[in-house]
């Protein structure tokens, strides 16, 4: 299995910032990334998709038959974070 390290790092950093529960469960984005890798090895051999905690893992077999897993931020986390930022901006504008 090949983990797309760039996707996992970028996703872990983003989810750690955007998802409050990720910061409650993990001490750093690196720890979150490690959890994500563990989930990939646990669930992505047979399954093509796995999601929890604000991230989604997508697995596929490349042209050489190697299993590849990529990571992304789940849409609901991005939406909730955007709404939170907009509320903060609006509140700051009211001051």
pLDDT surpassing 80 at residue 1: yes
Contact, 8 vs 33, CB < 8 A? yes
pTM to 2 decimal places: 0.89
Mean pLDDT of 30-41: 97
- 94: pLDDT strictly greater than 70: no
User: Around Cβ 30, how many Cβ atoms within 10 Å?
Assistant: 13
SS3 90: helix
Tell me what pLDDT residue 95 has.
58
Over residues 61-85, the mean pLDDT reads: 95
> Sheet of 67-73: strands edge to edge?
2-3, 67-73, 55-61, 49-52
Instruction: Encode pLDDT of 3-15 as tens digits.
Output: 999 999 999 999 9
Q: Could you give the CA distance from residue 41 to residue 33 in angstroms, rounded to a whole number?
A: 13
């Amino acid at each position: 299995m090949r983990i797309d390290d760039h996707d996992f790092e970028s996703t872990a950093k983003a989810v750690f910032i955007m998802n409050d529960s990720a910061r409650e469960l993990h001490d750093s984005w690196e720890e979150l990334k490690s959890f994500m890798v563990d989930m990939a090895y646990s669930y992505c051999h047979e399954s093509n998709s796995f999601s929890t905690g604000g991230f989604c893992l997508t697995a596929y077999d490349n042209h050489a038959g190697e299993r590849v897993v990529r990571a992304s931020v789940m849409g609901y986390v991005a939406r909730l974070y955007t709404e939170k930022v907009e509320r903060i901006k609006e509140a700051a504008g009211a001051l």
